[in-house]
């Protein structure tokens, strides 16, 4: 199937993108080779794959959706490719990344709850064969640049042990864009920038969006595109907090009165320029004609930090559309039907089998994954093979006080946080998170005291929406269509039977950077046995006494609540 899909494509002119006049100096590679590889031979090898992920970029935070943020490079790539307007991700960082890398739902990797914290002895399960490992088997040179956030307590967890030939980036979830300092509670701070399995102390002071772009351009400049297919996973930390960008990106948005939105827009513009320069390098060094560029966010935007998911409901950390419907597009000369908007249902787990298929792998390499090969839906405009998405089932998240097995018709306990989409229908149970519709931040003082004036989720535990006809989740049909509710509750039961236990261990004091040379690095020996017998028992009021390891525990718990709940 993959071979058939890649033959007979018409090639796009190298000049067709039409924005070659920008100054490349902010992201220029030091001592970049002068030579240029020429695409003179027919396409005889699998395509070069460039997967670009941004962090916390909201649905309304791109030029073709927004009126106040300008992204000419991203807009042009999307317009000449295929915009994915029915594309789903996860509401927070670690789950989206784990599903991309494994092709599996969180319930099948034990990462159903929250994110992997820097001090948790936890990471992507070792029994999972990752996407880059599969691509290595198929002859690819694999490289990762940017944010990992899939655990690092053992060296076995590191990107270079999970399928990447090279790695350059940060291991934790949030770092300073210049100093690369990362904190996990009061006084628990350390340096987090790594070259392979070593700490990259000498790179501090350089803005991460520029630094990561320079590294990608260097990889492209030093690799021969005719000798071996290339897979690059570029995982920007932008536009996650802290809100930091060089001054020259802020100036064009001086008319935005809201300071958070102004800084956030500047960071998006820096990413836009970075993607332009990477695309320019793909053309310069002879990759472009046989390349597939995929752009994706990792979760919804956070309005408290300048992001916007308007007109969708909710935000990052919630299972409303604003938390799980992502920005995404595919740009490639190999697309059969370009310059269109796709309504095909696509989920982040689908990239695993799709890219393995593009790389020439057969279906046996993706047995057991939850994703589908959606290349024909994207490239040819065919129907998506995906009909259903399990957004998640999180048994540890705060149970909704209004939920019960009785309210779930004796089928499902609606106190449990869960969400599923099947066809046109979407069901949510438990506490989905803050559920308001939040316009772009225009007022100078927002959110401030204005936040408390916003409407909060009605105290109930079951919602049903026809998401195709009501993408903004305005009309709850759970009472009008109990038949559909029962069917979807039964699907939750079906999936829950296949779930593995949640992996969410207590943090380990040995992870403190002060005990490890001032940096976040692996702290457990590979020979040491794992133990995940302790998790946060939120139902037990005495759990803090039993599990308290340090004074920062209360900070840790409050931080988790701020990210995931509606009590902000």
Whole-angstrom distance between the N-terminal and C-terminal Cα of the chain?
49
In angstroms, the Cα distances linking 64 to 73, 276, 302 are 11, 16, 19
Query: 238 near 55, Cβ under 8 Å?
Result: yes
Cα of 137 vs its chain's centroid, Å: 24
Query: 421 near 87, Cβ under 8 Å?
Result: no
Q: For the purposes of burial, counting CB atoms within 10 Å of the CB of 8, is it exposed (0-12), middle (13-18) or buried (19 or more)?
A: exposed
Query: 102 near 370, Cβ under 8 Å?
Result: no
Q: Tell me, what DSSP letter sits at residue 168?
A: E
Report the 3 state secondary structure along 304-369: HHCCCCCCCECCCCCCCHHHHECCEEEECCCCCCCCEEECCCEEHHHHHHHHHHHCCCCHHHHCCC
Which residue do the tokens 């995931």 mark?
564
Distance CA 312, CA 86 (A): 13
Helix (H, G, I), strand (E, B) or coil at 553: helix
Pairing mode, if any, of strands 166-169 and 194-195?
antiparallel
Distance CA 62, CA 84 (A): 13
Give 509-514's long-range contacts (Cβ < 8 A, gap of 24+): 509/119, 509/549, 509/550, 511/118, 511/119, 511/120, 511/121, 511/153, 512/119, 512/188, 512/190, 513/188, 513/189, 513/190, 513/191, 514/190
Residue 520 tokens read as 């976040």
Residue 122 tokens read as 């936890």
Starting at the earlier edge strand, list the strands of the sheet with 462-466. Answer: 388-394, 417-422, 425-429, 462-466
Distance CA 402, CA 264 (A): 37
**DSSP result, 54-108:** ESS--TT-STTT-SS---HHHHHHHHTSEEESSEE--SSHHHHHHHHHH-S-GGG
Catalytic residues: 93, 149
Q: Tell me the backbone φ, ψ of residue 114, rounded to 5 degrees.
A: 60, -145
In angstroms, the Cα distances linking 412 to 406, 409, 421, 457 are 8, 7, 16, 21
Pairing mode, if any, of strands 82-84 and 87-88?
unpaired
Pairing mode, if any, of strands 291-297 and 48-54?
parallel
Query: 415 near 399, Cβ under 8 Å?
Result: yes
């Amino acid at each position: 199937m993959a071979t058939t899909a890649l033959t007979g494509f018409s090639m796009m002119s190298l000049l067709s993108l039409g924005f070659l006049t920008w100054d490349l100096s902010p992201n220029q590679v030091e001592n970049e080779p002068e030579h240029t590889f020429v695409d003179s031979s027919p396409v005889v090898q699998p395509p070069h794959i460039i997967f670009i992920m941004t962090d916390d970029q909201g649905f309304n935070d791109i030029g073709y959706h927004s009126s106040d943020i300008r992204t000419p490079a991203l807009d042009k790539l999307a317009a000449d490719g295929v915009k994915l307007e029915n594309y789903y991700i996860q509401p927070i960082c670690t789950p989206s990344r784990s599903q991309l890398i494994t092709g599996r739902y969180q319930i099948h990797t034990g990462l159903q709850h929250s994110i992997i914290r820097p001090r948790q002895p936890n990471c992507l399960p070792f029994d999972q064969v990752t996407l880059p490992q599969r691509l290595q088997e198929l002859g690819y040179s694999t490289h990762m640049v940017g944010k990992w956030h899939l655990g690092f307590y053992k060296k076995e967890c590191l990107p270079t042990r999970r399928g990447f030939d090279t790695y350059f980036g940060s291991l934790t979830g949030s770092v300073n864009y210049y100093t690369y300092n990362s904190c996990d509670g009061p006084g628990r701070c350390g340096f987090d920038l790594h070259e392979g399995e070593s700490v990259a102390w000498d790179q501090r002071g350089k803005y991460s969006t520029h630094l990561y772009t320079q590294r990608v351009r260097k990889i492209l400049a030093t690799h021969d595109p005719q000798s071996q297919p290339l897979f690059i996973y570029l995982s920007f930390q932008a536009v996650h907090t802290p809100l930091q960008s060089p001054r020259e990106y802020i100036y064009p948005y001086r008319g935005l009165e809201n300071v958070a939105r102004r800084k956030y827009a500047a960071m998006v513009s820096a990413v836009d320029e970075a993607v332009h320069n990477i695309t320019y390098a793909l053309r310069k060094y002879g990759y472009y004609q046989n390349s597939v560029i995929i752009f994706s966010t990792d979760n919804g935007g956070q309005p408290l930090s300048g992001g916007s998911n308007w007109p969708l409901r909710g935000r990052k950390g919630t299972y409303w559309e604003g938390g799980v419907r992502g920005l995404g597009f595919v740009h490639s000369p190999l697309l059969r039907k370009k310059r269109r908007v796709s309504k095909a249902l696509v989920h982040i787990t689908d990239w695993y089998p799709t890219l393995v298929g593009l790389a020439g792998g057969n279906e046996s390499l993706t047995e057991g994954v939850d994703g589908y090969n959606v290349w024909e839906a994207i490239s040819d405009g065919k129907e998506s093979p995906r009909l259903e998405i399990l957004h998640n089932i999180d048994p540890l998240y705060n149970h909704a006080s209004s939920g019960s097995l009785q309210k779930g018709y004796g089928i499902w306990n609606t106190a449990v946080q869960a969400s599923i989409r099947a066809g046109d229908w979407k069901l949510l149970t438990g506490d989905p998170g803050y559920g308001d519709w939040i316009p772009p931040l225009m007022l100078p003082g927002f959110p401030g005291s204005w936040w408390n004036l916003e409407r909060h989720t009605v105290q109930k535990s079951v919602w049903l929406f026809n998401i195709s006809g009501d993408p903004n989740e305005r009309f709850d049909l759970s009472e009008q269509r109990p038949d559909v509710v029962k069917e979807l509750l039964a699907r939750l039961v079906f999936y829950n039977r296949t779930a593995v236990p949640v992996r969410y261990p207590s943090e380990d004091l040995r992870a403190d950077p002060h005990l490890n040379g001032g940096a976040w690095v692996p702290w457990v020996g590979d020979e040491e046995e794992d133990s995940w017998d302790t998790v946060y028992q939120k139902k037990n009021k005495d759990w803090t006494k039993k599990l308290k390891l340090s004074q920062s525990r209360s900070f840790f718990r409050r931080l988790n609540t701020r990210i995931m709940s509606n009590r902000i």
